[in-house]
Chain A
Amino acid sequence: MASSSESITSSEFIRHHLTNLTFGQHPDGSWSMAHDAAEAAQMGIMAVHVDSLFWSFVLGAGFLWLFRSVAIRVTSGEPGMLQNFCEWIVEFVDENVRGSFSGRNDMVAPMALTLFCWIFLMNLMDLVPVEVIPRLLALFGVHFQKVVPTTDPNITFGLALSVFVLMIYFSIRVKGPAGFAAELTMHPFEARSPALKVLFIPINFFLEFVSLISKPISHSLRLFGNMYAGEMIFILISLMFGTGVVLTLFGGVLQFVWAVFHILVITLQAFIFMVLTIVYMDMAHQHH
C-alpha cells in the first residue's frame, strides 16, 4: 500500500484505484471533472471516462500508426524486420478468418486485426505496475487514473455492441428481413402443420432472442471480467508493498508470477474476442 498516504485504508486504496477519471454533467447542469467517486456516480449517463477513452484512443492509434508506417512502404520483395512482424500478425489473423469465416466480406479481416491488436495493447497496460502511472499523473494534479481500458465495461461493451450491430446489419443484408425474422422464429422447434408453426413462434422467438442478446453480453463481459479480475489481483498484491520487508518481497514475487501468468491471459482474451467476432460475422453470413 502507498506508504506516503498512510491515512487511507486498504478499502479506500482499492476504491481509489477502481475509480475512473470522469468528466461530466453535474446535477446542477455544469460540466467539469468529478472530484470523487460519489460525484462521478451522480453524473449518471452524461459522463465520460477520460482515462479509459484516452488510453483506448492512444493504444488504438498507436497500433494503426505502427501498421500504417509499414503499409506505406510495404514491399512484396524482401521484407524488413518491422514488416516481417506486421506480416506475421496479418497472416495470423488472415488464417483465422479463412478458417472460421466462410462468407464473402472483406471488412471482417481488417476488423479482426484491429480488434486483436487493439485489445491486446489495452490488455497489455495491465502489466504496467498499478501505481506507476497514477502516481506520476498525481504529481500533475490528476487524482484518478485507470490505465487499463478493458477493465472499463464501457470500453468492452462499446466494442461488443459495435460487433453486435454489424452482425445484425449483415444478417439482414445477407438473408433479408424475412430471412432474419425466420431465423429468430423458426428454430429450434420446427413443425410441418401451420397451426403448430404458429404455436412455436413465440417459444422459438423467446429462445432465439435470449441466445441472440446473450452474444454481446458474454462477448464483452468475458473480456471485462478477466481483465477486471486480473487488475484487482494486481491491486491486492500492491497492498503488500510498504507493509514490512518480508511482505514487500513476497508481494514482489507474487506480482512477478501473476504478471507472467497474465501475459497468457492478455493474449488469450484478445484472441478470444477476435475469434468470437469472426464467428458472429460468419453466423450473420450463413444461409439456412
Chain B
Amino acid sequence: MNLNLTLAFQVLFFIVFVWFSKKFVWTPIIGALNERKTRIADGLAAADKGHRAEQEGREQAEQLIVEARSRASEIIGKAEKHGAELVEEAKSSAKKEGERMITAAQAEIDSEVNRAKEALRKQVSELAVAGAQQILKREVDAVVHAQLLDDLAAKL
C-alpha cells in the first residue's frame, strides 16, 4: 500500500463536502420535509374537525327536519279540522236558510191558494146565484129559495 499526500487531500475534500452538505443541502431539504410533515398533520386534524362538524350539522339538520315535520302535520291537522268545521257550518247555515226559504215559500203559496180559493168561492157563489136567479126568475121565488141558496153558497 502506498499512502501519500492523496490522503490529506481526500480529508480536505471530506471536510469541505460535509460542511457544504450540512449547510446547503441537508438543512433546507430536511426543513422542507419537516414542514410538510406538520402541514399534513394539520391538514389531517382539520379534516377530522370538519368531519365532526359535518356529523354534528347533519344530526342537527335531522332533528330540525323531524321537528318541522311534526309541526307541519300539526298545522295540517288543525287546518283540516278548521276546514271541516267551516264546511259543516256552511252546510248547516245553508240548510237553515233553505228551510226558511221553503217555509216562507210554502206560507206564500198557502196564502195565495187561500186567496184564490176565497176569490174562486166568491165567484162560484156569485155565478151560482146568478145562474140560480136566471132559473128562479122563471120557476122559483127568490124568497122561497133564499135559504137554500145561502146553504149552497156556504158549502162551496
Give A residues with C-beta under 8 Å from B: 24, 40-41, 43-49, 52-53, 56-57, 60-61, 64, 67-68, 70-72, 74-77, 86-87, 90-91, 94, 106-107, 109-111, 113-114, 118, 152-155, 157-159, 161-162
Contact = CB atoms under 8 A, between A and B. Distances in A.
Nearest to B1: A153
7 contacts: A52-B6, A53-B6, A71-B29, A75-B32, A152-B6, A154-B6, A154-B7
Contact of B30 (A70, A109, A157, A162): A109
B25 A113 contact: yes
A57 to B, nearest CB: 6
Contacts of A41: 2
B25 to A, nearest CB: 4
Contacts of A107: 18, 22
Interface of B: 1-11, 13-15, 17-18, 20-22, 24-33, 35-36, 39
Given A71-B24, A118-B17, 16 more contacts: A48-B4, A49-B6, A56-B10, A56-B13, A60-B13, A68-B24, A87-B33, A107-B22, A110-B27, A113-B21, A152-B6, A154-B2, A158-B14, A159-B10, A161-B7, A161-B11
A86 B30 CA distance: 10
Nearest to B38: A76
Given A90-B30, A157-B3, A162 B11 contact: yes
Contact of B25 (A47, A71, A159, A162): A71
Contacts of B3: 45, 153-154, 157
Contacts of B9: 48, 53, 158
B34 to A, nearest CB: 8
Given A76-B35, A86-B29, A46 B4 contact: yes
A46 B5 contact: yes
Chain B interface SS verdict (over half): helix
Contacts of B21: 64, 67, 110-111, 113-114
Contacts of B29: 67, 70-71, 74, 86-87, 90
Contacts of A52: 6, 10
A86 B26 CA distance: 10
B33 A67 contact: no
A158 B10 CA distance: 5
Nearest to B2: A41
A110 B4 contact: no
Interface centre among B24, B29, B31 (most CB of A within 10 A): B29
B39 A76 contact: yes
Contact of A60 (B1, B17, B26): B17
Contacts of A48: 4-6, 9
A91 B24 CA distance: 16
A53 B4 contact: no
Contacts of A76: 32-33, 35-36, 39
Contacts of B14: 114, 158-159, 162
B15 A47 contact: no
A49 B8 CA distance: 11
Given A90-B33, A161-B11, A43 B4 contact: yes
B134 to A, nearest CB: 135
A159 to B, nearest CB: 6
A87 B39 CA distance: 16
